[in-house]
Structure 1
């Protein structure tokens, strides 16, 4: 079974989903997250991976710092892949890929927390649903430099295909999404966009987030 978050609430959380790690921020991650939250970011994920990524106590300290900022803002804090860390700090949720621990196993271990799963095919999306996922991350939609291990670029068409094949679970697009492309992803059937570099590398993080929200928000205003 899925977590305690309703699909309607999950769709709202996915609107402007910031994925952040120390290796892809121009300044301290906490500053990026605080600015993003002030701009209206709806969910935050710590994805601490890649060359130079923090480990051990340093990663724990960063997670606690970002989690505290999210709690102050009333926004869910998600941990990427690291189930032990998520459990240790009582994160609001965890996001896993196809090469990580199976979603069903995580659901059994973590109970009613938010569970997100990356899916690249309709079959993977159906399996994620069966294993208790609350949402699916679909991508990479466009070319991205933020993930060295990214799958082949899919474009918005995979989101369209999932919707046409009856996947009703909340979906978020990720991978190379700019503010200019956000509305295209939403039109394809996504409930929101997950963004890394377009926000973490922005000169004005708050403004960047607000621009994304304007592009995504049209779906929720119609």
Structure 2
């Protein structure tokens, strides 16, 4: 497979990429890899240790020898054993994870936040990026937290400083310029891709948006 040329994308070495899709299957990882996405999070729930290790290993094989950075959600033990390089944890998973072992294995660490207490917890772990959500209402998962709204992005960015800030939750392509302008360094996208009637075209539109002049 010939990998798409990403040389025109700004900050193509920044992590995570400004467009950061989150998907739950190997088929999606394969599809996004072929479309030229730079950072992909694999978020599959309720797997046992063996299933998680198999999934992560298979996903890493898909992105092998491509520029794609695969981010493993939650399964930090599987990520270490399989040789992954990037990890994302929610607050509940962070509470039970061994951050020392994660860092010892050389993984980057992204963390979810929803309120002030979670932000303090996340900052104490010295993460490689912080995610804030949900920005808008989302139907994909039950959320304990109300939508944050765009102004919260600006507040969070001021508080995290140079740490990359990822906005997530119900965000569509048409809202991306306002989200970036508010201070987000990256936008994590789920349903705007996975529930789109033409996912490939939507992904390409997100990638094209990355190279448009501000």
Deviates more, 1:8-17 or 1:194-203: 8-17
TM-score (norm 1): 0.79
> Which residue does the alignment assign to 1:25?
none
Find the partner of 2:111 among 102, 106, 117: 117
Corresponding position of 1:208: 202
1:66-107 Cα distance to aligned partner (Å, 9 max, x none): 22222232221111112211112121121112222249x643
1:141 aligns to what?
Answer: 135
Q: Kindly tell me: are residues 145 and 57 of structure 1, through their superposed partners in 2, closer, same or farther at Cα, counting changes over 3 Å?
A: same
Equivalent in the alignment of 1:188: 182
What secondary structure sits across from 2:138 in the alignment?
A: coil
Determine the structure 1 residue equivalent to 2:7.
none
Matched, 1:175 2:169: yes
User: Match of 2:94, SS?
Assistant: coil
Question: Which of 69, 76, 100 is the aligned partner of 2:93?
Answer: 100
How far, CA to CA, are the matches of 2:157 and 2:40 in structure 1? 25
Show the counterpart of 2:23. Answer: 20
Contact 1:135 1:172 in 2 (8 A): yes
| Higher normalized contact order (CA 8 Å, seq sep 6+, divided by chain length) | 1
Correspondence for 1:60: 53
1:40, CA displacement in angstroms?
A: 2.5
| Residues 201/60 of structure 1: CA separation in 2 closer, same or farther (3 Å cut) | farther
| Count of aligned pairs | 202
| Gap runs ≥5 in structure 2 | 1-10
Cα distance, 1:10 vs structure 2: 7.0
In structure 2, the partner of 1:90 is 83
User: Taking structure 1 as reference, are residues 204 and 64 closer, same or farther at Cα in structure 2, changes over 3 Å only?
Assistant: farther
What displacement does 1:204 show?
Answer: 3.2
Say if 1:155 and 1:10 are closer, same or farther in 2 by CA, change over 3 A: farther
Unaligned runs of 5+ in 1: 1-7, 22-28
The CA deviation string for residues 44-65 of structure 1, in whole angstroms up to 9 with x for no partner, is 112112xxx5444344332222
Q: Partners of 1:166 and 1:58 in 2: how far apart? A: 35
